[in-house]
Structure 1
Amino acid sequence: MTAKVMTIALVGFNGALVEVEADLKQGLPAMHIVGMGNKAVEEARERVRSAISNSLLDFPTRKLIVNLAPAELPKDGAQYDLPVALSVLIASGQLRQTEIAGAVFAGELSLSGELRPIRGVVTIVEAAKNAGFKEVYIPIANAMQALLVDDIAIIGVSSLKELFLHLKKEVYIPSSTPLIDLPLSKIPLLTIDDIHGQEQAKRALQIAAAGRHNILLTGPPGAGKTMLAKALMSLLPPLSKTEQLAVTKIHSIAGQWERVITDRPFRSPHHTTSPIALIGGGAKPMPGEISLAHLGVLFLDELPEYPRSVLEALRQPLEDRTISIARAHGRITYPADFMLVATMNPCPCGYYGDPDTECTCTATQIMAYQKRLSGPLLDRIDLILHVSKVNHEHLLRLNTLDKKQQPKVFKAILKSYQIQKSRYSSSNIYNASLSSALIKKQLTLSADARTLLLSASSKLQLTARSYFKVIKVAQTIADLEIGSQDHTIHATHIAEALQYRAHPIS
């Protein structure tokens, strides 16, 4: 009889059902694994042999063929150890096929038979649920992440021997139960109340957070650009349960199996990062920084210092909010719905246009520095703001009024989120993600707003993309108006939005 055990293969952001078959033949004792597995799958032979023996079970002394079907699907990772071991036990008569029916198994085995955590467990459980299975057996260390998926029993297992006795009904392993409330990070966030002055920049951060707009802050060294960028995290509401699932799923695929992600990601790759590290890919395509920042913030400090090839690679995901990686064996798509927050100096020395410090750069150096950012990339940034230095005499001054900004601003942002959710009948659509078709259908401009926008777009020579971005930012400004029930875009909203379409160097 051929033994059959079901498991899941990781195929990018999704999972594919894999049937692990085992068959005993007459011949010299040997174990062969076929089905387009990589090195980790091939090495499962030795891990499975030792795990079965050290679990006080019998490893068959005949020729054993294990097939991972479908054969044309590439198999990668050590999660096949457990289903391979179970298929061997069924083929040798130590387990019955009916004892594993209706369940999916995944896990890496140690030589002693203990189960080690694996990556991509959320994807595995989600794919099993979609395929109609009722139970998933996984390493106990992965159970917390797996519990994010509802309506399927998660059974965390610590060893092969424990699982064998459970399947034989000699011991009972209870299903894992989810935590009612997952704890948020206890790391204190920098808030806008910690920043002195910079009222216009704080206003820009509020608009960016409310509509999930990309923002670029430019100004001399020490103006507070990095602090402002980090303070943005305190203005973003916590992840919903659906968003926790999506973010944890990405991080689990990347190998971060330790915990459920409850805080919005804040990724800050160094300017020496490679295109593959930022975008994703490699011989075995993995999520990059833009995917790990999904539903959070991607912070690029000193934007012109990044290689041009890296920056230009951002253009497509900034527009589509996904990234597609094509390789010889197929195409993989990862989500990349992130807010881009970037900073830059106005010139190589940083003091071009500064009233107090003289710039030492030549005109050629300044021009070359500016050209590191292409027009199409800048066109995809919704808000561009120049940040000036704060006078030193204000840095140690205590202003009690400033301490009340954070709660008021955060409340207005939450209200804006509710307005957008009601307007678009979705919790996944924000003003920044609207297409031109949705703008025409969902947003309303007053007559004076249209007149001002047409006049400004002609004088500023706005591209079609910039034209629509001004409308989207203006809509966010309208949504933030306290006490307003009319969210029509007026001329005042367009006028404020146009301030953020200026050239990054002032």
Structure 2
Amino acid sequence: MSLAIVHSRALDGLAAAAVSVEVHLANGLPSFTLVGLAETEVKESRERVRAALQNNGLSFPHNKRIVVNLAPAELPKEGGCFDLPIALGILAASGQIDAAALAGFECAGELSLAGELRPVRGALAMGLALRRESSARRLILPEASAAEAALVDGVGVQFAKHLLDLVAALQPGSEQPLAAAVALPRAAAAEASDLRDIRGQAGAKRALEIAAAGAHSLLLVGPPGTGKSMLAQRLAGLLPPLTTEEALESAAVLSLAGQFDPARWGWRVLRSPHHSASSIALVGGGSPPRPGEISLAQHGVLFLDELPEYNRAALEALREPLESGRILISRAARQAEFPARFQLVAAMNPCPCGHLGNPLRECRCTPDQVARYRGRLSGPFLDRLDLQIEVPVIAPAALAGVPDGEASARVAERVAAARARALARQGCSNALLPAQALDRQARCDKAAMDLLLKAAARLGWSGRSYHRVMRVARSIADLAGSEVIAPAQMAEAVQLRRGLGGGLV
């Protein structure tokens, strides 16, 4: 048979579009042509496939005109994942394996020159695409990639370590089956840093608990050494365990970027990009588009330390994903959409020298320098941060006498109970509660509503700020087990929008 078709997948954002690898052998001037909008690394597969076949005693049709078409032609193809389907297509077209047996499979894998199969990016995305399409085909992948794809229930995944394993399994009448992939077990969480390690800072710890209970964004403002980074790094330990679907979504994005670690399967991600990160590094982009930090932090925590030091354009690019939970990257040739449902925690100093308001050290910044420093953060960006609190300095003498606080495990129990109440009531966390549902789900008594309206009028809050304070108050009430928001809970929510230098934002 001179024509063979092998099924595979091409990564397109987080989707894995179906690709037919069509291999045709014809008489004529010997050549090896690869068509179908292939990137450079795909075109290089010609040499890898040729060497892999020859080094394993398989026949390569040197005297034929080989044409490989990756259909659909308008879909860009990248990566080394097409090595395996191209090699199998050549073998099937030249009669060395059973071409009919390939109809029930989809495969992807990079070949070494010796014929070994190397892992590929996006194995989870391929498995999710098969489940979404309810396809009866089985997925053949390298061993490490197959363990990822097997996490998707309802998808048959098999693996091979070497090209010859596949050749033996695809011979007519072969009784040598491929091994079935086994899903990775959910990893037990390692001992994380505990909230008990932070002495004092009761107000900041309370804000951290409220942020965890309602999935709210949080800004910590205070002089250096007050524990802002330590607090932020402990937020992930307060959050409830990921559901299976959430863990799959998180792992799929990490797999797409080649950063999935099987040892951390089922853990919430903590991403801490350096403040020199560009807009593309944060929100994603490039050619072809790749996920940025906000997508890699899917269902986890994104920690931005030294917030004013980030490029302003990069911070402004976070405004829409903070509300929509997704990022659409548009380029002239194509678009790619990635999930971006992350919890933002940011930390900053109150001034350039960092000691404004520090009772132990005098601030040397002029008012103009302080204003310029804070002006690096736009009002619309700050308006999207639910909790904005000060982290005060604690004198060493006082710090030595402060007893240990609560352990993260105890706080996490209260957070889990509060989140369970919110999910039972409205089906989502309080931070995601739509504005039109606030009056029904965030019911306040008259005194609490009067307090909120008075604060909003006096402080000139936008409609967004007003709604965000109501959501925070709802989280505080959930922690207290209250159905109706009380005046004290509303007052605490108002105070938790205290921002830079003691002023209200």
1:108-141 per-position Cα deviation (integer Å, ceiling 9, x unaligned): 1111111000001111122123331331000011
| 1:496 alignment partner in structure 2 | 492
CA distance 1:135–1:422, change in 2 (3 Å): same
Q: Which moved more, 1:124-133 or 1:31-40?
A: 124-133
| 2:214 alignment partner in structure 1 | 211
Q: Which moved more, 1:389-398 or 1:239-248?
A: 389-398
1:178 maps to a residue whose letter is A
1:141 maps to a residue whose letter is A
| 1:167 alignment partner in structure 2 | 170
| 2:226 alignment partner in structure 1 | 223
CA distance, structure 1, for counterparts of residue 406 and residue 303 of structure 2:
26
Identity of aligned residues (%): 45
CA distance, structure 2, for counterparts of residue 317 and residue 389 of structure 1:
33
CA distance, structure 2, for counterparts of residue 160 and residue 258 of structure 1:
25
CA distance, structure 1, for counterparts of residue 107 and residue 131 of structure 2:
13
CA distance 1:436–1:262, change in 2 (3 Å): same
2:248 maps to a residue whose letter is L
- Is the contact between residue 142 and residue 258 of structure 1 (CA under 8 Å) also seen in structure 2? no
Post-superposition, which runs of at least 4 consecutive aligned residues in structure 1 deviate over 4 A? none
Stretches of structure 1 lacking an aligned partner (at least 5 in a row): none
Aligned to 1:373, the other structure's residue is in SS state: coil
| 2:153 alignment partner in structure 1 | 150
1:404: how far off?
Answer: 4.1
| 1:468 alignment partner in structure 2 | 467
Q: 1:176 aligns with which of 175, 181, 190?
A: 181
| 1:22 alignment partner in structure 2 | 23
1:401-446 per-position Cα deviation (integer Å, ceiling 9, x unaligned): x454433321110101211221123xxx211112212323433222
Q: Is residue 334 of structure 1 aligned with residue 330 of structure 2?
A: no
Q: 1:250 aligns with which of 247, 250, 253?
A: 253
- Is the contact between residue 238 and residue 409 of structure 2 (CA under 8 Å) also seen in structure 1? no
CA distance, structure 2, for counterparts of residue 190 and residue 276 of structure 1:
30
Q: Is residue 49 of structure 1 aligned with residue 50 of structure 2?
A: yes
CA distance 1:235–1:258, change in 2 (3 Å): closer
| 1:136 alignment partner in structure 2 | 139
CA distance, structure 2, for counterparts of residue 487 and residue 32 of structure 1:
68
CA distance, structure 1, for counterparts of residue 497 and residue 402 of structure 2:
33
| 2:322 alignment partner in structure 1 | 318
1:46 maps to a residue whose letter is E
1:288: how far off?
Answer: 0.8
Aligned to 2:158, the other structure's residue is in SS state: strand
CA distance, structure 1, for counterparts of residue 55 and residue 226 of structure 2:
63
- Is the contact between residue 104 and residue 133 of structure 1 (CA under 8 Å) also seen in structure 2? no
CA distance, structure 1, for counterparts of residue 380 and residue 260 of structure 2:
37
1:172 maps to a residue whose letter is P
1:26 maps to a residue whose letter is N
| 2:92 alignment partner in structure 1 | 90
Q: Is residue 240 of structure 1 aligned with residue 243 of structure 2?
A: yes
| 2:446 alignment partner in structure 1 | 447
| 1:272 alignment partner in structure 2 | 276
CA distance, structure 2, for counterparts of residue 414 and residue 326 of structure 1:
38
1:459: how far off?
Answer: 0.7
- Is the contact between residue 446 and residue 490 of structure 1 (CA under 8 Å) also seen in structure 2? yes
1:167: how far off?
Answer: 1.8
- Is the contact between residue 199 and residue 402 of structure 2 (CA under 8 Å) also seen in structure 1? no
CA distance, structure 2, for counterparts of residue 498 and residue 363 of structure 1:
27
1:129 maps to a residue whose letter is R
Q: Which moved more, 1:194-203 or 1:352-361?
A: 352-361
Aligned to 1:395, the other structure's residue is in SS state: helix
2:459 maps to a residue whose letter is L
| 1:295 alignment partner in structure 2 | 299
Q: Which moved more, 1:67-76 or 1:168-177?
A: 168-177
2:20 maps to a residue whose letter is E
1:225-266 per-position Cα deviation (integer Å, ceiling 9, x unaligned): 111111222212232221211111001110125526322111
CA distance, structure 2, for counterparts of residue 446 and residue 258 of structure 1:
48
Stretches of structure 2 lacking an aligned partner (at least 5 in a row): none
Aligned to 2:200, the other structure's residue is in SS state: coil
TM score, norm. by length of structure 1: 0.95
2:204 maps to a residue whose letter is A
CA distance, structure 1, for counterparts of residue 20 and residue 201 of structure 2:
60
Q: Which moved more, 1:463-472 or 1:415-424?
A: 415-424
| 2:375 alignment partner in structure 1 | 371
CA RMSD of aligned residues (A): 1.5
CA distance, structure 2, for counterparts of residue 202 and residue 462 of structure 1:
25
Aligned to 1:10, the other structure's residue is in SS state: strand
Aligned to 2:6, the other structure's residue is in SS state: strand
| 2:59 alignment partner in structure 1 | 58
1:182: how far off?
Answer: 2.0
1:222: how far off?
Answer: 1.5
1:330-358 per-position Cα deviation (integer Å, ceiling 9, x unaligned): 11111111111111111111111222321
- Is the contact between residue 21 and residue 69 of structure 2 (CA under 8 Å) also seen in structure 1? yes
CA distance, structure 1, for counterparts of residue 293 and residue 54 of structure 2:
42
CA distance, structure 2, for counterparts of residue 134 and residue 487 of structure 1:
50
1:492: how far off?
Answer: 1.7
CA distance, structure 2, for counterparts of residue 384 and residue 154 of structure 1:
47
| 1:108 alignment partner in structure 2 | 110
- Is the contact between residue 8 and residue 108 of structure 2 (CA under 8 Å) also seen in structure 1? yes
| 2:388 alignment partner in structure 1 | 384
| 2:267 alignment partner in structure 1 | 263
| 2:430 alignment partner in structure 1 | 431
| 2:399 alignment partner in structure 1 | 395
CA distance, structure 1, for counterparts of residue 261 and residue 65 of structure 2:
38
